[in-house]
Amino acid sequence: MTEAGSPLFLVALRLEALTLRLGAAGVDWERIGMGPVRAVAACSRISRQPDRRPVVLVGCAGALDPALRPGDLVVASSLVEVDRPGSVVPLAHADEVHARVQAAPGIAGTGVAVHLAPIVSSPRILHGDEARSLARRSGAAVDMESLWCAPLGRTRPFAVVRSILDVPGKDLFTLSTAAVALRSARSLAAAARALASWHPGSLESDTLMEIGER
């Protein structure tokens, strides 16, 4: 397996792409679109590419753990599909990515908490406290793409970093939405800058995930 250059960052939303363009200029990124169908398509396409550079999926997420605050970062230690607690996919480089982000300029000393925790992926937006409470049994935050991009880890280093946008018990669309979005965007951009030159020290085959086809 051949090592390649700097990471490719994947984002789902236009706002996340704008964050990378303005806050982490120079990183290589692609917008894959929202949800599992688009994530599967992107995974299939990228898997066929000959280079084996790292792929980092970044973007916003909803908090499941009430201890999380808007702007906090969650580095995925593993991924699991909502309502399928047995579908856990560990991420081989999570500890390394977490340490790098936690120590990064723009993160260290700013009050932004960087958590290493499981992330739940859902094919639908989770509405209501009950749905989030059930999902919380499996992870600290929820998104709609990560698990379906995880097969990329079969052939290259793969990591997921999410910035918390909304938290349990709070309406996302309030007068504070703009301030919350700015806080989340700043921490996401700082994380991307911290990982702009990331590459694991080794790409030994026994460190790559063995993920079956989904």
Angle at 140 between CA 174 and CA 37, to 5 degrees: 80
Residue type present at position 101: V
Please compute the mean of the pLDDT values over residues 69-76 and round it to a whole number.
95
Please compute the mean of the pLDDT values over residues 107-132 and round it to a whole number.
84
The pLDDT, as a whole number, for residue 167 is: 77
Nearest-CA neighbor of 76 among 122, 135, 118? 118
Mean pLDDT of the chain: 85
In the numeric block, the tokens 């063995």 are attached to 210
129: pLDDT strictly greater than 70: no
Residue type present at position 18: L
Q: What Cα–Cα distance (Å) separates residue 137 from each residue in 65, 132, 142, 205? A: 9, 9, 11, 32
Q: What are the two backbone dihedrals, phi and then psi, of residue 70, each rounded to the nearest 5 degrees? A: -55, 135
Are the C-beta atoms of 207 and 200 separated by less than 8 Å?
yes
pLDDT, tens digit, 9 for 90 and up, residues 166-213: 876 554 444 456 777 888 999 999 999 999 999 996 334 333 444 444
Range scoring the smallest mean pLDDT among 10-19, 71-80, 129-138, 199-208: 199-208
Q: Which domains does the chain carry?
A: 8-198 (3.40.50.1580)
Higher-confidence residue of 47 and 173: namely 47
The pLDDT, as a whole number, for residue 20 is: 96
Residue type present at position 204: E
Radius of gyration for the chain, computed over Cα atoms and rounded to the nearest angstrom = 16
97: pLDDT strictly greater than 80: yes
151: pLDDT strictly greater than 60: yes
Please compute the mean of the pLDDT values over residues 86-93 and round it to a whole number.
92
The pLDDT, as a whole number, for residue 100 is: 95
1: pLDDT strictly greater than 50: no
pLDDT, tens digit, 9 for 90 and up, residues 20-37: 999 999 999 999 999 999
User: What is the distance between the terminal CA atoms of the chain, rounded to a whole angstrom?
Assistant: 23
Dihedral class, residue 164 (left if φ above 0, else alpha if ψ from -120 to 50, else beta):
beta
Within 10 angstroms of residue 75's Cβ, the number of other Cβ atoms is 26
Which pLDDT band, with edges at 50, 70 and 90, does 124 fall under? confident
In the numeric block, the tokens 């936690």 are attached to 102
Output the CA torsion 63→28→196→157 (10° steps): 70
Please compute the mean of the pLDDT values over residues 109-122 and round it to a whole number.
94
Which pLDDT band, with edges at 50, 70 and 90, does 214 fall under? very low
Which pLDDT band, with edges at 50, 70 and 90, does 101 fall under? very high
Prediction pTM value:
0.86
